């Protein structure tokens, strides 16, 4: 079973359902429908360092329930010809059961030792924020997840096994899906119907909520902070800092908001949760009750960058102007460390600009950006007699 959006008009919905019925062979309704990719298309081979010594992990013990779940899943994999039994292997890795949100189990393999024996792939993954920006603003997106990821089309975004087909206009969506399905058929790829959503005006993609009107923070990531009890250990603060980092793009001056947490981590030997820490924690949760909606810039649009500094951090926000209002695109922030704390105000502003330029490089390359600040940063940077840190 697959999902269809509820906001489409009746005629468009009926047309989409009929289209999906005509292309039902694109979906893998069971594991045996997945026949793999022809070796004429691509062949996978592990690039193992020839000098690496094979590792045979000691077999882990599982309870009766876990053992039964592992047995059933392995039998399905063997039946579908995903795996085959091997005698006297050089490498041995344990299985790991990971709980799914639906209460079922995901069978994984602990390839820690094998990964160490394989060189790192220098080919970079796409930037998630760039993919999210390019996806927001469409009228009708469709999300799906492949068992094997390969194709890239004109209206398609791909990140590992997450794929999204985006249409600017609802009337174009069937045609865009047809192009997408033809690519899948040409490579013998199948979609998991349970992980597909068709004809929606917004939804979750790569951890963000994308809509025609912009980008919202994932409610699940917000709830992870809102539902937290006050930290009682350094480990709890580390968990809070990690959850805060996942929302940095949506938090104005997050370095200042999270400073008490980072101070706790700097000591890392003695835990101390002060009244000030609790007040900041409460302020942060109040802020997250209504996080800002981030917007996508139009091609070639003039953007504005506001810089801000404090004793302990530097921050900036990239905004676009629409009518008489400014709408945020991206928040950037950094906690000052070491010698940075002793920088003068103008040096901190320059640092804030450098950090923003590095973080927001795609925007700087595609847009004219006006930097706004209360300090004479332009005159200082244009001074031919600059020296020291300002030159660097």
What are the residue ranges spanned by the domains of the chain?
3-30+124-216, 64-116, 219-287, 303-390
Q: Which CATH architecture has domain 3-30+124-216?
A: 2-Layer Sandwich (3.30)
* pLDDT in the model for residue 212: 73
CA distance linking residue 178 with residue 184, whole number of Å: 10
CA distance linking residue 332 with residue 35, whole number of Å: 46
pLDDT bracket for residue 57 (50, 70, 90)? very high
Structural contact between residues 133 and 116, judged by C-beta atoms closer than 8 angstroms: no
Structural contact between residues 161 and 8, judged by C-beta atoms closer than 8 angstroms: no
Axis crossing angle, helix 219-226 with helix 234-245, rounded to the nearest 10: 150
Q: What is the pLDDT of residues 244-263, one digit of tens each?
A: 888 888 988 888 887 777 77
DSSP tag of 27: B
Structural contact between residues 251 and 242, judged by C-beta atoms closer than 8 angstroms: no
CA distance linking residue 331 with residue 352, whole number of Å: 12
- Residue 225 dihedral angles phi and psi, to the nearest 5°: -90, -40
pTM beyond 0.85, yes or no: no
Name the CATH topology of 303-390. Ubiquitin-like (UB roll) (3.10.20)
Range scoring the smallest mean pLDDT among 7-11, 51-55, 89-93, 296-300: 7-11
In the beta sheet, which residues pair with residue 313?
335
Could you tell me which residues come within 8 angstroms of residue 277 by beta carbon, excluding any fewer than 6 positions away?
A: 260, 261, 264
Check pLDDT > 80 for residue 129.
no
Structural contact between residues 301 and 264, judged by C-beta atoms closer than 8 angstroms: no
Q: What is the pLDDT of residues 144-157, one digit of tens each?
A: 544 333 334 457 77
């Amino acid at each position: 079973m697959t999902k269809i959006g509820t906001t489409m008009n009746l005629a468009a919905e009926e047309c989409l359902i009929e289209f999906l019925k005509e292309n039902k062979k694109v979906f893998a309704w069971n594991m045996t429908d997945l026949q793999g990719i022809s070796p004429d298309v691509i062949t996978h081979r592990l690039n193992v360092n020839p000098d690496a010594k094979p590792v045979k992990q000691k077999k882990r013990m599982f309870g009766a329930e876990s053992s039964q779940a592992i047995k059933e899943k392995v039998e399905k994999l063997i039946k579908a010809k995903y795996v085959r039994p091997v005698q006297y292997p050089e490498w041995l890795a344990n299985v790991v059961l990971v709980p799914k949100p639906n209460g079922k189990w995901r069978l994984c393999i602990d390839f820690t030792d094998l990964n160490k024996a394989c060189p790192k792939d220098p080919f970079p993954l796409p930037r998630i924020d760039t993919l999210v920006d390019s996806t927001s603003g469409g009228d009708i997106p469709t999300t799906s997840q492949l068992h094997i990821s390969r194709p890239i089309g004109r209206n398609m975004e791909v990140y590992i096994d997450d794929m999204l087909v985006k249409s600017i206009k609802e009337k174009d969506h069937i045609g865009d899906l047809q192009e997408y399905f033809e690519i899948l058929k040409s490579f013998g790829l199948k979609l998991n119907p349970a992980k597909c959503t068709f004809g929606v005006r917004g939804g979750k993609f790569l951890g963000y909520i994308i809509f025609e009107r912009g980008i919202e923070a994932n409610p699940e990531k917000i709830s992870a902070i809102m539902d937290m009890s006050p930290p009682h250990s350094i480990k709890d603060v580390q968990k809070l800092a990690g959850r805060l980092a996942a929302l940095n793009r949506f938090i104005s001056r997050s370095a200042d908001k999270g400073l008490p947490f980072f101070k706790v981590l700097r000591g890392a030997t003695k835990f101390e949760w002060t009244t000030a820490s609790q007040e900041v924690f409460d302020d942060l949760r109040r802020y997250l009750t209504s996080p800002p909606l981030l917007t996508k810039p139009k091609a070639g649009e003039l953007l504005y960058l506001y810089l801000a500094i404090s004793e302990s951090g530097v921050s900036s926000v990239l905004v676009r102007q629409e009518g008489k209002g400014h709408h945020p695109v991206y928040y950037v922030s950094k906690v000052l460390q070491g010698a940075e704390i002793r920088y003068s105000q103008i040096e901190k502003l320059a640092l804030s600009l450098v950090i923003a330029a590095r973080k927001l490089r795609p925007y700087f390359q595609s847009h004219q950006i006006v930097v706004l600040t209360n300090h004479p940063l332009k005159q200082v940077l244009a001074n031919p007699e600059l020296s020291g840190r300002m030159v660097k």
